[in-house]
Structure 1
Amino acid sequence: MKVTRLSSGISIRRTIAEGTEQQVTAVKAIIQEVKDYGDEAMFRFTEKWDGAKLTSLRVTEEEISQAVDRFDPQLLVDLTEAAANIRKYHESQQQQGYRLDNEDGSYVAQRVTAIESAGLYVPGGTAAYPSSVLMNVIPAQVAGVPRIVLISPPSKDGTLSDGVLASAHILGITEVYKSGGAQAIAALAYGTESIAPVDKITGPGNIFVALAKREVNGDVAIDMIAGPSEIAIIADDTAYADEVAADLLSQAEHDPLASAVLLTTSKKLADAVSKQVEKQLATLPREAIASPAIANHSMIYLGETMQELITAADQLAPEHLEIMTDDAEAVAEKIHHAGAIFIGRYSSEPIGDYFAGTNHVLPTNSTARFSSALSVYDFIKRTSIIRYSQKAWQNNKEKIARLARLEGLEGHARAVESRSWKKENEQ
């Protein structure tokens, strides 16, 4: 990995991947095809892009049962325990509505309700992610979403990963479809003969999934536009180079566009980590994916002080931020912008990906400056409720009318004034 010094003139903020003009045009065309031709377009695109010739988009209960039977029993136990951890964490996010009563008999309130349906995209392609099933489904279940749909790209034989289906089984999800890419997002947004549309789409995917989510946003809600994986590590000379390198590579292996950044005050550690990354990369099964990520999108930055590293980390606002320093808790307290923070030597990023209970669907491309991890909050709506009494109306109608006329909205003023005391007495 390249080593460079931080300076006041350098920006390390991640550039948002917008997609090429050709990719955007292709995504728009795919979405229109699905809107126009429904299932027929889905079958055609699945054969073209995934190499699978399907006759049905929906996964049968028998397919799910067979996948569970084939699945490693110990892994089923592990996924079940991970699901329990994730559920426990997200149950703390449940919200209740409230009501504020006034002496004049009026009240205002907020009602919290779940959205009616959610479509959860589970990536496929270079790797299938059973953990993404848990991370997307459980917050929706905790929120109380009545209809939860899974969709994921099939392999060439037309099947979904046993791990994905086993995870769906653990969570009791039976509405599962075979499709990937922009066409899957289009089907969730607009529906086909087989797939009823949903109210919200969540889950990460490749650039075509990201662009499709951007395109349908507004017709349907989305969680975020997720970019390639990112990790940043703040470390001092108490950290172990082999462990730091391993954690950097844990994200580099996701995508050739992934980013792995080390921020350190130790030149000795920087040099050692650079050598360790090269050494470990040589034996990594996904070396062909991780190598371009390390070569083109990763860096080791040397700073003079810990505060300089903290400032740089906040500028980067990474998806994942590990802190391996002498006083990691104190450093973590000073961080303002990160999707998830991992404190101390034993809090390697994959612990959050799989088992700790926090959600691994996180903001990327420096958007942690203003956005958050996927959560129960993504699957609920907050409805404002207003009930004014006659007394409250009488006391406040003139104030409201004046404010309406201040903005040039005579109709608003008249609407408030139209409730006359005489009319009220005649009823």
Structure 2
Amino acid sequence: MDVSGLVDTATGRQSRAIYSSEELYRQELERIFGRCWLFLVHTSQIPEAGDYFRTFMGEDDVIVIRQKDGTIKAFLNSCTHRGNRICRSDRGNAKAFTCNYHGWSFAPDGSLSAVPLEKEAYFGELDRSRLGLVPVAHVAEYKGLVFGCFDADPPSLEDYLGDAKFFLDVWLDAMPGGTSLVGETQKMVLASNWKLPVENVCGDGYHLGWAHAGAMRAVQSLDLAGLSVGNSSTDLDGGLSVAGLNGHMALTSLDGVSGYAFYPKPKPMLDYLEFNRPQVIERLGKVRGEQLWGSQINITIFPNLQFLPGLNWFRVYHPKGPGQIEQWTWAMVENDMPAEIQAAILDNQCLTFGLAGLFDNDDGDNLAACTEQSRGWRTAQMDVFTNMALNRSGPREGFPGDIAAGLVSEHNQRYFYRRWQEHMQADNWAGVPTYNINSVVAEETIDA
């Protein structure tokens, strides 16, 4: 389907068809979820041989398995006999995966290891070597984050992430002990198109004082007078909206402490930041060590991964049709954090962005309404706009990307829809442009 007229990045216009069309959605599964590198699992979730984690790549059910040699492989969760799923649990450890329909059994390396009545029913003519689990074409890791890709010839994961690694490392590589996801998977089904929550988090500081006004008042330690309802005194220079990074984005404050403003008792976190900041500066340099580590940062890896150092939630959106998603969330910690801080992070993540969190219910209602309002005959003919602060971006010393000043902007959303359109128009990776705008050489860091 031709999408050239559905998004206009010069004006910030989007057609509502991109949120409701079944035809477009099927094209997204092929050209975005079937082509891009997609987050599968954090290595902390499958530490031992035989550990597995069940997830999705688009709508494809996938099992990610730690092998005996420590490597990680991923396979379609589908028996090669009659297509039934072979794994029903979310995670665990297994020596084999057995289909409960006809009993075909597969080893953790994907090979077909046992077939009931193989000699009697198949007369010894079954070629097991051709009937192993279908592997995900490529699996790669970046500092604990494991991604998979169905495409036969994609760019490397390192190239795909590009200059977004500058921001990723603020969580992944700030401390020598590495990182983990903690708690069980918090799953929520929302009646929303998958693109709407991504654009909401990737750059929409505009909605904070309106959609979350009640939640902000409930958090007594929080002082966000500049984002009160009406935005009459909004500090437009309090952060950065960063895009132009191969479709990835960051929305960040610059004070080094505001990420913990939402915590009921922030002092232990602030003490942790103060004590460890010198070694973080040594590892990541002054820009990231002083201005970013400890700040509230919204990081988006195109198409459907987002995580927020500071508020410390980590999330992936699994599409389930043009009008529904399954949203998976975890709490994220640095392994060097004391146990009491890790526990406080998990508690606060559940309080703010958990299944019954103060903020998620606000967002869920708005995103579902935006999706529903794109389905009517007349409303589907209307356009929507992300046209705030057009043509007001450029370089900033010490940072990569095309940057707009402030947290209240629609700069990042325009880049998100630009990247969506680029993938949807391209027949293969050769037709997808690569751009790391205003690339900078990061300050020298030490080895982890």
Fold shared by both chains (TM-score > 0.5): no
How does the TM-score come out when normalised to structure 1?
0.22
How does the TM-score come out when normalised to structure 2?
0.21
